[in-house]
Structure 1
């Protein structure tokens, strides 16, 4: 048996976003009631419809960073190969990491042993329980943990070029150093941010992960519908 686990945050009007970014605006553009004025369909069977207006940055909700996000010479999201956004994955249990805590190399080593999967080119998802603790309060913007540069190098040494976290960033919101993002820029790595439901992946071993972006021309990132397929 195989099961699909949805790892995506619902995109809503005025939902929380990164401290530097505007919240999205989502509203009804045309409703079933207002579209009656087009007189579509046939007598006795009108054809009405709804459309929504969406105004948002390409880094809202569950999203992936393109290389261009932090590298002025990096590939945009439409230039990156689709293969980068899917693949074999493992989820690390890091629920002992507190808000504003730091995920270290030692944490990664212990989590790998606990997961029972040796990282070898895997996408690595990091479950700290942060989303369940904080969302949708303001703590979800201001208290996410840090993936340290040592832990990021640990991933790179094992061929893991993509990883994913629960909060709005892999860097602490309490500083403006962005050491993890800068290292990803230098190593050609990237990540998904604001993943949810990662607890459901703990203890599942290796699984298939999908976090494919929209094909925005020149996009610095994109919302994704992230999900995993696990064997039950």
Structure 2
């Protein structure tokens, strides 16, 4: 069995979606402080973190798209361990819209069909090209509404992308979010290392969310498993 980690590293003030709260990670108590406080018996260090539920590699809950949607604590875990393929969209220009024709051609080139009840990971090369520079927050390509509909018609439960939004920056991205709600699917943002999946064939995708009550999203440890 081979496991490929597709998750962004989290650290203090990790680059984050504009307008969201910062990711904060710090030392709460060092080994030395804990040792002194524990009567010279225990020296157990601990840290703390604070972050938005859309921080790092994460999955959006339907509640993020519409107030009628379910929170992340109600999202079906069956949708978090699914068959997947990764397709190559690195030729799409920064900020451009990925169309149904682009998806269809990339799927055909991969040699593997879209798995019904599964996921499609979109390797745009954006993370590899721009992270952690400021361009990471703005220069991504992304699917348009028609492409989102195409994916839903293929039977996916979600799709993933190596940028911090599913669509290109601007109104189309907001419309893609709304389309996901209407189509009954969601998406995973801020994946990385998708290049390593290209040409490797189908895999099992695992990305389990934290159980935040009424959360609009959750960070996940996203992995692709081969030979499972």
Q: How does 1:36-115 map to 2 (within 5 A)?
A: 36-39=35-38, 46-115=41-110
Whole-Å separation in 1 of the counterparts to 2:50 and 2:221: 18
Tell whether the 8 Å contact from 1:148 to 1:180 is kept in structure 2 after alignment: yes
Tell whether the 8 Å contact from 1:19 to 1:142 is kept in structure 2 after alignment: no
Whole-Å separation in 2 of the counterparts to 1:207 and 1:216: 28
Whole-Å separation in 2 of the counterparts to 1:29 and 1:83: 36
Whole-Å separation in 2 of the counterparts to 1:36 and 1:94: 53
The aligned counterpart of 1:14 is 13
Offset of residue 161 of structure 1: 2.1
Offset of residue 185 of structure 1: 1.3
The aligned counterpart of 1:198 is 194
Tell whether the 8 Å contact from 1:19 to 1:173 is kept in structure 2 after alignment: no
Tell whether the 8 Å contact from 2:54 to 2:60 is kept in structure 1 after alignment: yes
Once the two structures are superposed, residues 201-232 of structure 1 have per-residue CA deviations (whole angstroms, 9 ceiling, x without a partner) of 11122110001101111111100000011249
Tell whether the 8 Å contact from 1:94 to 1:128 is kept in structure 2 after alignment: yes
Say how many residue pairs are matched.
227
Residue segments in structure 2 that go unaligned for 5+ positions in a row: none
Change (3 A) 1:101 1:176: closer
Whole-Å separation in 2 of the counterparts to 1:25 and 1:185: 30
Offset of residue 76 of structure 1: 0.6
Tell whether the 8 Å contact from 1:40 to 1:48 is kept in structure 2 after alignment: no
The aligned counterpart of 1:183 is 179
Q: 1:126 aligns with which of 117, 122, 125?
A: 122
Tell whether the 8 Å contact from 1:162 to 1:190 is kept in structure 2 after alignment: yes
- CA RMSD of the aligned region, Å? 1.6
Residue segments in structure 1 that go unaligned for 5+ positions in a row: none
The aligned counterpart of 2:206 is 210
SS at match of 1:57: coil
Offset of residue 50 of structure 1: 1.3
SS at match of 1:186: helix
Q: What TM-score results when the alignment is normalised by the length of structure 2?
A: 0.95
Tell whether the 8 Å contact from 1:204 to 1:231 is kept in structure 2 after alignment: no
The answer to whether the aligner puts 1:173 opposite 2:169 as a matched pair is: yes
Once the two structures are superposed, residues 40-89 of structure 1 have per-residue CA deviations (whole angstroms, 9 ceiling, x without a partner) of 57xxxx42111111111100000000111111011111111101111000
